[in-house]
Amino acid sequence: MQEQQYEFDLDYESAHVKEILLQEDMEAFRENFLSYPLYDQTQIYLSLEQEDRIRMYHYLSPKEMSDMFEILEEDVESIEVYLMEMNKQYAADMLADMYTDNAVDMLQQLPEEVIPTYLRLMDREQASQIRDIIDYDDETAGAIMTTEFISLKANQTVRSAMALLKSKSSEAEMIYYLYIINNENQLVGVLSLRDLIMSHEDSMISDIMSDRVVTVNVDDDQEDVAHVARDYDFLAMPVVDENNILLGIITVDDILDVMHEEATSDYSGLAAVDVDETTSNPFKAAGKRLPWLITLLFLGMGTSSLISNYEGLISEAAILSVFVTLITGTAGNAGTQSLAVAVRKIGQPESEKRNWMAMLTQETMTGLISGVVTGLAITLVVGIWQNNFILGGIIGFSMLSAITVANLAGSLIPILMDKIGFDPAVASGPFISTFSDLTSVLIYFNIAKYFIENVL
């Protein structure tokens, strides 16, 4: 008989669970709810109202709830509302049952003044581990590492290592890699679980381990850590300090979170808006976007003021006004393209970064080539359309110059921001476009003025 494929209907299952909760039958609820796959449990939990979730806390243990929150930590923007509705002791026990790095992520979403309350309610050892990680700077390897890992000694046998693994594996977040330390807790080697299992029981760990260990420093930027994990295809990486003391590991799920976070940051900067904006309140959403819009408005007024200075030139050759938006728009697009390329290259690890002068040279040459091709095309189009190839030459040369300058600005501005310690992604697309408008208008009308006064 063919098994029926499991299908999950969130609306139906949530209503069913809610109905059981209303019956206040703990045994029936636990039998039903715990039969769902863990991910489906979290989706049902998120779909319930607060009063129903509070009932759940009476029927599920902190450990069972922590299993769900290990998944929720990655899928929910803010955990605060869920933690604050729990009994504080229950929440503290739940956090203590989680892997340290995930517990830290959740605690950091709470108001700073309430965090000590939860730590005081935890087991002293677990609270100490959490405090150690919270103290590291944000977006560093230390801030995203976990301290639940298994380490072995080089002078023990495979038999004793297997016994240790069996007794400690439930406490570790990942056991695929086993890290070898000396008596001073310094990292001296690494061993895969597969190699351990396939080795003879009497073999020494020092004989089967690899002493070529790729590590990250506890103070390394999380983006650099993600690049190392990507380059080596690691599922986990050891984190050490300046003395090569093994402090923790960073697992692949945290690496994926970092990559998502960094990509979101870059997209937000390029658009001058938080692309992960979750509020449904239009007033709050507008409040977050208005500062950039107002800033760009004043920059745009500078462009309008600049155009007004050429009223005499425009009245003398009104046809010039027709092509203003064409030149500014094309230059703005070229500048945004250059910005995107520059931000991407700046985000690469140090070993892959190109010399900034080489980057500027490449973008300038790219701008020149693009400008020449675009300029020639618009020269022919305007020349034929207006039956005036001198006007076409003015537009074409202006286009060439504007695109070249925009390409240079699009790469130079993020490089300068990176050099002085600011996030280059905040050199947003709208800012570069507005800046390109200003320079394009200046270039266009000065070239036109020169041709009119000296050529025509």
pTM above 0.85, yes or no: no
Distances (CA, A) of 373 to 366, 376, 397, 399: 11, 5, 11, 10
Contact in structure between 222 and 201 (CB atoms under 8 Å): no
For residue 81, which amino acid is it? V
Average pLDDT over residues 40-60: 92
- Dig out the tokens for 161 from the structure: 């290592």
Q: Given this model, what pLDDT does residue 425 score?
A: 57
pLDDT in tens, 271-296: 444 544 544 556 665 665 566 566 65
Contact in structure between 432 and 292 (CB atoms under 8 Å): no
Q: Given this model, what pLDDT does residue 289 score?
A: 59
pLDDT in tens, 157-177: 999 999 988 888 877 878 889
pLDDT in tens, 377-432: 989 988 888 888 888 888 888 889 888 888 888 888 777 777 776 665 555 566 77
Contact in structure between 258 and 222 (CB atoms under 8 Å): yes
Split at pLDDT 50, 70, 90, the class of 109 is confident
On the question of pLDDT at 215 being above 70, the answer is yes
Cα(425)–Cα(414) distance, integer angstroms: 7
Average pLDDT over residues 436-441: 82
What is the DSSP code string of 177-202? EEEEE-TT-BEEEEEEHHHHHHS-TT
Strand order in the sheet with 216-217: 216-217, 236-240, 246-251
Cα(338)–Cα(352) distance, integer angstroms: 18
Split at pLDDT 50, 70, 90, the class of 351 is very low
Nearest to 187 by CA among 168, 164, 208, 209: 209
CB atoms closer than 10 angstroms to residue 118: 23
Ranges of H-type helices in 347-428 = 356-386, 389-419
Cα(238)–Cα(141) distance, integer angstroms: 10
Of 97-111, 282-296, 312-326, 400-414, the least confident: 282-296
Which domains, ranges and CATH numbers included, belong to the chain?
10-139 (1.25.60.10), 151-266 (3.10.580.10), 282-454 (1.10.357.20)
On the question of pLDDT at 438 being above 60, the answer is yes
Hey, which bits of 128-261 come out as E strands? 151-153, 177-181, 187-192, 216-217, 236-240, 246-251
Q: What's the mean per-residue pLDDT of the chain? A: 81
pLDDT in tens, 218-269: 999 888 888 888 888 888 899 999 999 999 998 887 887 777 666 555 544 5
Of 51-55, 275-279, 316-320, 442-446, the least confident: 275-279
Of 29-43, 74-88, 191-205, 377-391, the least confident: 74-88
On the question of pLDDT at 323 being above 60, the answer is yes
Average pLDDT over residues 9-18: 89
pLDDT in tens, 168-214: 887 787 888 999 999 899 999 999 999 999 999 999 999 999 999 99
Q: Given this model, what pLDDT does residue 1 score?
A: 42
Average pLDDT over residues 373-379: 90
Ranges of H-type helices in 272-388 = 282-308, 311-316, 324-346, 356-386
Q: Given this model, what pLDDT does residue 275 score?
A: 46
Average pLDDT over residues 1-7: 56
Q: At a CB cut-off of 8 Å and minimum separation 6, what does 381 contact?
A: 392
Average pLDDT over residues 119-132: 87
Split at pLDDT 50, 70, 90, the class of 121 is very high
For residue 183, which amino acid is it? N
CB atoms closer than 10 angstroms to residue 31: 11
- Position with higher pLDDT, 431 vs 82: 82
Q: At a CB cut-off of 8 Å and minimum separation 6, what does 366 contact?
A: 338, 407
